[in-house]
Amino acid sequence: MNKLTLQKAKESLKNKDFSAVDLTKACLLQMKKTEPKLNAFVTVTENQALEQARKADVELASQGDALEAKPLLGIPIAIKDNFSTLGIRTTASSKVLDDYIPPYDATVVKKLKDAGAVILGKTNMDAWAHGSSTETSDYGATKNPWDTNHLPGGSSGGSAASVAANQCIAAIGSETAGSIRQPASWCGVTGLKPTYGRVSRYGVIAMGSSLDSPGPITKTVEDSALILEVLAGIDEKDATTSPKEVLEYSKHLDKDVKDLKIGISSDYFIKGIDKEVEELIKTAIKKFESLGAKIENIKLFDPKYAIDVYTIIQRSEVSSNLARYDGIRYGKDRESFAEEAKRRIMFGTYALSSGYYDQYYNKAQQVRTVIIKDFEKAFEKVDIIIAPTSPSLALPVGATKDTSMFGEIADVLVEPSSIAGLAGINIPVGFSKSGLPIGMQIIGPQFSEQLVLASAHQYEINTQNENWRKLTPDL
Partner 1 sequence: MKINISHIAKLANLTLLPDEKLKLEKQLEETLDYVEQLNQVDTKNIEPTSQVTGLENITRDDIAKPSLSQNEALSNTKSKHNGFFKVKAIFKENE
Partner 2 sequence: MSKYTPVIGLEVHVELKTNSKMFCSCSADYFGQKPNTHTCPVCLGLPGALPVPNKKAIEWCVMIGLALNCDIPLFSKFDRKNYFYPDLSKGYQISQYDKPFCQKGFIELSNGKKIGITRVHMEEDTGKLIHEGNSSLIDFNRSGVPLVEIVTEPDFQTAEEVKEYLQKLQQIVRYLGVSNADMEKGEMRLEPNISLRELKTQNSKLKTELPSYKVEVKNINSFGFVGKAIEYEIKRQQEILEKGQTPIQETRGFVEKNSSTVSQRVKEEASDYRYFPEPDIPPIRWTNEDLATIECLIPELPFYKLFRFQSGYGLSVYDSEILTKTRDLADYFEEAMTIGRKHELTAKQIANYIINKKIDINIILPAKLIEEIIKTTKKTDVNEEKLAKIIEKVINENQNAVQDYKKGKETVIMFLVGRVMRQFKEKIDAERIKAVLTAKLK
Tell me which residues are annotated as active site.
80, 155, 179
What order of strands is seen across the sheet that includes strand 437-444? Answer: 41-44, 118-123, 76-80, 170-175, 213-218, 190-193, 423-431, 437-444, 384-388, 261-264, 294-297
Instruction: Output the smallest distance, CB 206 to partner 2, in A.
Output: 7
Instruction: Output the smallest distance, CB 204 to partner 2, in A.
Output: 5
Indicate the SS3 state at residue 191: strand
What residue ranges bind partner 1 (CB under 8 A)? 99-101, 103, 196-197, 210, 236, 239-240, 242, 304-305, 307-309, 311-312, 319, 323, 326-331, 334-335, 337, 339, 342-343, 345-347, 349-350, 353, 360, 362-370, 372, 404-405, 420-421, 446
Q: How far apart are CA 169 and CA 164, in angstroms?
A: 10
* Strand extents, DSSP E, 311-390: 384-388
* Closer CB to partner 1, 19 or 94, in the complex: 94
As beta bridge partners, residue 199 has 232
* Closer CB to partner 2, 61 or 239, in the complex: 239
* Closer CB to partner 2, 90 or 265, in the complex: 90
Task: Please say whether the beta carbons of 167 and 182 come within 8 A.
Answer: no
Q: Which of 7, 43, 283, 349 binds partner 2 (CB under 8 A)?
A: 349
Indicate the SS3 state at residue 337: coil
Which residues in the 180-239 window bind partner 2 by CB under 8 A?
201-206, 209-210, 236-239
From the list partner 1, partner 2, none, which binds 364 (C-beta under 5 to 8 Å, kind-based)? partner 1
From the list partner 2, partner 1, none, which binds 396 (C-beta under 5 to 8 Å, kind-based)? none
CB-based contacts of 92, cutoff 8 Å, min separation 6: 81, 82, 125, 127, 128, 129, 205
Size of the site for partner 2 (CB under 8 A): 42
Other residues' Cβ atoms within 10 Å of the Cβ of residue 237: 13
Q: Is 323 a residue that touches partner 2 (CB under 8 A)?
A: yes
Q: Is 353 a residue that touches partner 2 (CB under 8 A)?
A: yes
* Closer CB to partner 2, 174 or 450, in the complex: 174
From the list partner 2, partner 1, none, which binds 307 (C-beta under 5 to 8 Å, kind-based)? partner 1
As beta bridge partners, residue 173 has 215
Question: Residue length, the chain?
Answer: 475
Options 2-10, 94-102, 250-258, 383-391: segment touching partner 2 (CB under 8 A)? 94-102
Task: Please say whether the beta carbons of 39 and 159 come within 8 A.
Answer: no
Other residues' Cβ atoms within 10 Å of the Cβ of residue 57: 21
* Closer CB to partner 2, 138 or 460, in the complex: 138
Which residues in the 364-393 window bind partner 2 by CB under 8 A?
none
From the list partner 2, partner 1, none, which binds 205 (C-beta under 5 to 8 Å, kind-based)? partner 2
Options 6-14, 54-62, 101-109, 439-447: segment touching partner 2 (CB under 8 A)? 101-109
From the list partner 2, partner 1, none, which binds 304 (C-beta under 5 to 8 Å, kind-based)? partner 1
Least Cα distance to 389 among 372, 367, 411 occurs for 411
Options 102-110, 249-257, 264-272, 299-307: segment touching partner 2 (CB under 8 A)? 102-110
Q: Is 280 exposed, middle or buried (0-12, 13-18, 19+ CB in 10 A)?
A: buried
Instruction: Output the smallest distance, CB 402 to partner 1, in A.
Output: 9
Q: Is 126 a residue that touches partner 2 (CB under 8 A)?
A: no
* Closer CB to partner 2, 205 or 436, in the complex: 205
Instruction: Output the smallest distance, CB 109 to partner 2, in A.
Output: 10
Q: How far apart are CA 72 and CA 425, in angstroms?
A: 21
Which backbone phi and psi does 174 adopt, to 5 degrees? Answer: -145, 145
Q: How far apart are CA 95 and CA 21, in angstroms?
A: 32
Instruction: Output the smallest distance, CB 449 to partner 1, in A.
Output: 15
Q: Which of 41, 337, 347, 361 binds partner 2 (CB under 8 A)?
A: 361
From the list partner 1, partner 2, none, which binds 204 (C-beta under 5 to 8 Å, kind-based)? partner 2
Q: Which of 30, 93, 185, 319 binds partner 2 (CB under 8 A)?
A: 319
Instruction: Output the smallest distance, CB 209 to partner 2, in A.
Output: 4
Q: How far is CA 51 from CA 20, 64, 100, 183, 394, in A?
A: 10, 21, 23, 30, 37
* DSSP secondary structure of 7-24: HHHHHHHHTTSS-HHHHH
Q: How far apart are CA 186 and CA 173, in angstroms?
A: 14
